[in-house]
Structure 1
Amino acid sequence: MSPLSELAHKVRAQLTAPGAPFEMVEVNVDGRSVRAYRNAFPTLPALIASGRAHGAKPFIRYQGEAWTFDRFFAEADAVAAQLRAWGVQPGERVAIAMRNRPEWAVVFAAAALIGAVPAPLNSFGLGEELHAALDDVEPRVFACDAERLARIGGDTRVADCRILCVGEAEMPAGITDYRIAATRAAEPVSSPALGPDDPALILFTSGATSRAKGVLSSQRAVCQALFNIDYIGALSGMTSPEAVAALMAKGLPPTTLTAVPLFHVSGLHAQLLSALRNGRQLVFVSRWDPAQALEVIREERITQFNGAPSMVMQLLAQPGFDDPTQTGTLAGLGFGGAGLPQRLIDEVMQRRPNSLSGIGFGLTETNGVGAAASGALFAYQPRSSGLTSPIVDVRIADADGQPLPPCEQGEIWLRGVTVMQGYWRNPEATAAAMSDGWFRTGDVGYLDEEGFLFVVDRIKDVINRCGEKIAAAEVESCLLHQPDVLEAAVFAVPDEETGEAVVAVVSVREGSGLDAHALRAHVGAHLAAYKVPAVVQVLTDALPRNPAGKLLKGQLRKAFVDAAQG
């Protein structure tokens, strides 16, 4: 074991020892004993309310407007009072669909503070996708912006569901204007009595099915995951003292550029809720634009940017990124997901040496908890996804579910206090994904002898485009709704700008007249723009299948890549 790895394990033992800030205890979850942080908040309302202590400190900046913690909580209390006036009870759902903006965060906090279950929806979704999610969660309230309201035609199609809308124009009849609800003075809400196993949050994940699944997490799972982010920060700081000293010497308040969507764990847990708890500042942008991001970094003196690897690559490619007057405040870059492209690793190591850059691996189903490394640990093993967290067990499983020894590849299974309670109203999918408390991730990887996790492949048929997960089956299903489409195979190919691009190979009825343009337009009319295939290859021959009738996507992908390279 290297000296740095030895130091990391020593620091971990120190941080988690009895009486230490991250002391471990055993708790019972579903009849199983699992490790947990003793000092984590017990419930999400308690965690959110702790942010009141930050008072007049700046919290969120958005389009030139500054929100202090005081203003944020004044509006959250007002919206919470409105939710209660509408009769929203603990455990009932409040759905949210907006671009990143302060009001998104306000509604989330207001719902959580009264014990309701926030259910953030994918704001990129079109009407059909939003209606499907609303039908799943059956919210008492749907909070949205004007664009999302238009997409659902002004109607949630859910009985007795109120709509709270953020917008500049006058609201249609029956729609409550956020500005009216949020500006009524209200006393801080008193949170209901909640237990650790009560529901706290529903987040949607694409997964490998044709319809997004809601992931239900308990109060304890969410709070433990958020405390784990603090642990990762402490471990990084204690193993990268030079980088921390350099950041401290600049005297800048920690400020994160939030460009990833708030409906993902990477935006919600690691940025919004972590900043709310710790009194840090966030700068929201509603859309990803690398040129604009560079301007925001300079103007807002950003110290941290976390995003999908493709977003970081686009940022690094901007003219002026290496100019200290442009990005001199930036102390670290963070990447979510699995192994990074070697080109990106090389560029970060060369252009941001001795920084607090890092990587994390986690899933919606584990509230983002899995493995992480930043600073010196990331520089030591940049191809890995980091060291596993203290509150998660990792099993590298063979085809029979049996554990494999270090350095042997298998499916990554995770078990621990932050794992979901299940897929919302979908016991079949839950049973397929869970085994005796273990969540089967669908990712292939291995643990090395020092405890670093390496993710090398995916079992699930999921495409990762700019950090957005796209279920191939969902796009295939959409294509097959065209009567003249006989077969459809959708898969990923590497792409320098987006990480992975969506490609479809489609067999159509002879004489149909369907072409690539028409098929892309068809998908664009039903699914979010980022799910539309970059390339559609139209054939009149049958697609290749194995003797069992399964589509040979690997063969199609290889043929496509070979043709593109030739």
Structure 2
Amino acid sequence: MTVEQWKAAWQQLIGSGSPYEVVTPDDGGPRYFRNAAPDLLTALNAGRAHGEREFVVWEEQRLTFAEFFAQVDRLSAQLRGRFGVQKGDRVAIAMRNQPAWLVSFVAAVASGAIVVPLNSWGQREELLHGLEDSGSRVLLCDAQRLALIEGDLEPLDLQAIAVAATGVSARVHDYEALIAEAVAPLPALAFQADDPLLILYTSGTTSKPKGVLSTHRAVCQALAALEFQGAFAAMSSPGRIRALLDSGFAPTSLMAVPLFHVSGLHAQFLLALRGGRRLVLMYKWDAERALDLIERERCTQFSGSPAMMQQLLASPRFASDATASLFGLGLGGAAANPGLLAQLTSVKPNAIGGTGYGMTESNSLGAAIGGDQFSYKPACVGWPLPIVEVHIGDSPDSPQAPGAEGQIWLRSPTLMRGYWNQPEATAEALQGGWLATGDVGYLDEEGFLRITDRIKDLINRGGEKIAAAEVEACASGLDGVLEAAAFAVPDERMGESVALVARVREGSGVDELTLHSHIAAHLAAFKVPEHILLSSAELPRNASGKLLKRELREEFLRRFLR
């Protein structure tokens, strides 16, 4: 299909009478999907129609949709009856990916709570920050997280419901016992679209994480947009969809990304529950274990960070019959280098590849691209979704022309209400209904969005602005370089200079001189790193797959420049 045909399919999908009809308000407010669910509980209850179909697989556990919702109903009744949870109370979840996380989330929504998923990779101080900041009154957790904060339950006046608890007390309750107990169902609660629903904490790479507060409306509009993107990918890539349908494999996603981030929560769990897709959960990422599960469970979809995809591709099993069922490959969390995209295309030419752009503050919404469009422009993140407006520039009131680079501003009904109890930070991020993303990019002549950097990742070398992403992409283009991170370091003469840390494949023959020469051959002289450090170890990333550049920079400075 041509670009014009893609545009026609897009307009058909959002037109009057379509399930994805988009409304433009007369008052100038953000566009929205007419048929999106009014609240998240209504949206998720659609999953009850899938009945006895298998929904979730984890280790030795298997649950049908009916079994899943039976546990949800019992736990929700316990939260409301035994623990006294009322609308607006905060209920936190801190555990690794497992069925109990999924049940806990939907049960907390049904109880009327504002759900607070916490980073299960964090240590005690990080968990305490989320619990204290949110003012949660109940915590659903696993035994590992309970061990970290059990001594803090009383000072926080917090009740804990623990999976696989080794003992119970006045403040620690057994999850399995609660969902096994026969309890009378309580009348369903009524929700308004603007009721607060969710607090998700940002990655916190530069300071303590901020709680992002979203409403039922924002999350439901985000789910409708993600479902629209799936429908559009099918319409715009008929050959790839036909190959998937002809394979006969049931839609099954391997889920390895954490549920406490929008990429795992919205785009994988909640969509699967609504749409009847089977989920195979991984407790912890391991590439060979992932390939075992793909082969055993005949997974058709895997979405993960570029680092995860790189590890899968490094195994000879990826190009074997072990992944014969795998047709969908999604990338997110960080920019993928051109070498990775070329490998994916070579090994899986008929795959429905894709990526997107969004953030916690927009409930994962921004732009998306998949299928034939992804093959056409793999370096872009796609067209802005139908309910998302994108402006580029210093201010959303003065958008720049196509091709001009600047800060990305978003406006949509999926934006957060604000940062929890942080009005000043909210006022800085939300300006006149527009979200200042802190990302730099541009819209090309065909309307595709391309991300070029984070504002804080611009290196100012003697007044010349250098995009760290450009240096990283160039370094990653050298065979043998697996990943790279560029950042600013102090320079007495220029103010700042470019430093680069790169992970190289063992035996590749790449050394500092080779990499320096490669970059010098492709970039302007002022962009060539003055400091290069090579490593065979994976570069540090947070739970959503983003490079922890502050850690890299501090370690670099400690070792070489102090």
TM-score bracket, normalised by the shorter chain, equals 0.7 to 0.9
CA distance 1:99–1:10, change in 2 (3 Å): same
> Are the equivalent residues in 1 in contact too, given 2:439–2:453 (CA < 8 A)?
yes
1:245 corresponds, among 242, 246, 249, to 242
AA aligned to 1:352 is: K
What is the rounded CA distance, in whole Å, between the counterparts of 2:386 and 2:175 in structure 1? 41
Indicate whether 1:162 and 2:181 are aligned.
Answer: no
What is the rounded CA distance, in whole Å, between the counterparts of 1:338 and 1:35 in structure 2? 28
3-state DSSP class of the match of 2:369?
strand
List runs of 5+ in structure 2 lacking aligned partners: 459-467, 473-484, 488-496, 506-539
Give the match for residue 350 of structure 2: 354
List runs of 5+ in structure 1 lacking aligned partners: 473-488, 498-522, 544-566
1:4 corresponds, among 2, 6, 20, to 2
The 5 A counterparts of 1:294-309 are 294-309=291-306
1:133 corresponds, among 118, 130, 134, to 130
Task: After superposing the two structures, state which structure 1 stretch, 349-358 or 272-281, moved more.
Answer: 349-358
Indicate whether 1:281 and 2:278 are aligned.
Answer: yes
What is the rounded CA distance, in whole Å, between the counterparts of 1:157 and 1:430 in structure 2? 31
Give the match for residue 251 of structure 2: 254
CA distance 1:208–1:492, change in 2 (3 Å): farther
Q: 1:335-389 deviations in whole A, cap 9, x for unaligned?
A: 0145420111111111111211111111000001111111101000000011110
What is the rounded CA distance, in whole Å, between the counterparts of 1:402 and 1:208 in structure 2? 30
TM-score by length of 2: 0.82
Give aligned-pair identity as a percent. 46
AA aligned to 2:13 is: L
CA distance 1:397–1:107, change in 2 (3 Å): same
3-state DSSP class of the match of 2:379?
coil
Q: CA deviation at 1:172?
A: 4.7
Q: CA deviation at 1:189?
A: 4.8
Give the match for residue 67 of structure 1: 63
Q: CA deviation at 1:132?
A: 0.7
Give the match for residue 403 of structure 2: 407
1:54 corresponds, among 38, 50, 53, to 50
Q: 1:479-534 deviations in whole A, cap 9, x for unaligned?
A: xxxxxxxxxx999845469xxxxxxxxxxxxxxxxxxxxxxxxx9xxxx9x96946
AA aligned to 2:257 is: V
The 5 A counterparts of 1:7-46 are 7-26=5-24, 33-46=29-42
What is the rounded CA distance, in whole Å, between the counterparts of 1:95 and 1:347 in structure 2? 40
Give the match for residue 477 of structure 2: none
3-state DSSP class of the match of 1:34?
coil
Give the match for residue 447 of structure 1: 443
CA distance 1:214–1:495, change in 2 (3 Å): farther
AA aligned to 2:6 is: A
Give the match for residue 210 of structure 2: 213
CA distance 1:180–1:11, change in 2 (3 Å): same
The 5 A counterparts of 1:476-515 are 493-495=501-503
AA aligned to 2:44 is: I
- The two structures, once aligned, show a CA RMSD in angstroms of 2.9
Indicate whether 1:313 and 2:335 are aligned.
Answer: no
AA aligned to 1:141 is: V
The 5 A counterparts of 1:420-459 are 420-459=416-455
AA aligned to 2:328 is: G
What is the rounded CA distance, in whole Å, between the counterparts of 1:540 and 1:302 in structure 2? 44
Q: CA deviation at 1:152?
A: 1.5
CA distance 1:73–1:409, change in 2 (3 Å): same
What is the rounded CA distance, in whole Å, between the counterparts of 2:396 and 2:103 in structure 1? 46
Indicate whether 1:77 and 2:97 are aligned.
Answer: no
Q: CA deviation at 1:539?
A: 5.0
Give the match for residue 397 of structure 1: 393
> Are the equivalent residues in 2 in contact too, given 1:362–1:369 (CA < 8 A)?
yes
AA aligned to 2:23 is: V
What is the rounded CA distance, in whole Å, between the counterparts of 2:99 and 2:388 in structure 1? 32
What is the rounded CA distance, in whole Å, between the counterparts of 1:189 and 1:52 in structure 2? 18
Give the match for residue 145 of structure 1: 142
3-state DSSP class of the match of 1:152?
helix
1:366 corresponds, among 353, 362, 369, to 362
CA distance 1:492–1:69, change in 2 (3 Å): farther
Give the match for residue 176 of structure 1: 173
Q: CA deviation at 1:190?
A: 3.6
> Are the equivalent residues in 1 in contact too, given 2:396–2:409 (CA < 8 A)?
no
What is the rounded CA distance, in whole Å, between the counterparts of 1:494 and 1:390 in structure 2? 38
3-state DSSP class of the match of 2:283?
coil
> Are the equivalent residues in 2 in contact too, given 1:297–1:330 (CA < 8 A)?
yes
Give the match for residue 537 of structure 2: none
1:123 corresponds, among 120, 127, 143, to 120
What is the rounded CA distance, in whole Å, between the counterparts of 1:492 and 1:334 in structure 2? 27
What is the rounded CA distance, in whole Å, between the counterparts of 1:373 and 1:434 in structure 2? 26
CA distance 1:140–1:539, change in 2 (3 Å): closer
3-state DSSP class of the match of 1:170?
coil
AA aligned to 2:5 is: L
Q: CA deviation at 1:400?
A: 8.6
Task: After superposing the two structures, state which structure 1 stretch, 435-444 or 530-539, moved more.
Answer: 530-539
> Are the equivalent residues in 2 in contact too, given 1:261–1:267 (CA < 8 A)?
yes
> Are the equivalent residues in 2 in contact too, given 1:225–1:418 (CA < 8 A)?
yes
What is the rounded CA distance, in whole Å, between the counterparts of 1:88 and 1:158 in structure 2? 19
Give the match for residue 380 of structure 1: 376
1:417 corresponds, among 413, 416, 430, to 413
Indicate whether 1:536 and 2:536 are aligned.
Answer: no
Q: CA deviation at 1:161?
A: 2.1
> Are the equivalent residues in 2 in contact too, given 1:113–1:189 (CA < 8 A)?
no
> Are the equivalent residues in 1 in contact too, given 2:218–2:413 (CA < 8 A)?
yes
What is the rounded CA distance, in whole Å, between the counterparts of 1:63 and 1:20 in structure 2? 40
Count of residue pairs the alignment pairs up: 490
> Are the equivalent residues in 1 in contact too, given 2:411–2:435 (CA < 8 A)?
yes
3-state DSSP class of the match of 2:399?
coil
Q: CA deviation at 1:45?
A: 1.0
Give the match for residue 327 of structure 2: 331
> Are the equivalent residues in 1 in contact too, given 2:154–2:171 (CA < 8 A)?
no
CA distance 1:116–1:378, change in 2 (3 Å): same
> Are the equivalent residues in 1 in contact too, given 2:298–2:326 (CA < 8 A)?
yes
Indicate whether 1:111 and 2:130 are aligned.
Answer: no
> Are the equivalent residues in 1 in contact too, given 2:213–2:419 (CA < 8 A)?
yes
AA aligned to 2:66 is: D
Q: CA deviation at 1:235?
A: 0.5
Q: CA deviation at 1:207?
A: 4.8
3-state DSSP class of the match of 1:536?
helix
Q: CA deviation at 1:32?
A: 5.7
> Are the equivalent residues in 2 in contact too, given 1:203–1:364 (CA < 8 A)?
yes
CA distance 1:400–1:220, change in 2 (3 Å): closer
What is the rounded CA distance, in whole Å, between the counterparts of 2:2 and 2:419 in structure 1? 39
Q: CA deviation at 1:537?
A: 4.1
Give the match for residue 521 of structure 2: none
Q: 1:445-488 deviations in whole A, cap 9, x for unaligned?
A: 000111111001111369999xxxx9x9xxxxxxxxxxxxxxxx
AA aligned to 2:362 is: T
Q: CA deviation at 1:144?
A: 0.6
Q: CA deviation at 1:434?
A: 1.3
> Are the equivalent residues in 1 in contact too, given 2:158–2:171 (CA < 8 A)?
no
CA distance 1:230–1:113, change in 2 (3 Å): same
Q: CA deviation at 1:191?
A: 3.0
CA distance 1:445–1:375, change in 2 (3 Å): same
AA aligned to 2:274 is: R
Give the match for residue 90 of structure 1: 87
What is the rounded CA distance, in whole Å, between the counterparts of 2:500 and 2:333 in structure 1? 16
What is the rounded CA distance, in whole Å, between the counterparts of 1:383 and 1:363 in structure 2? 18
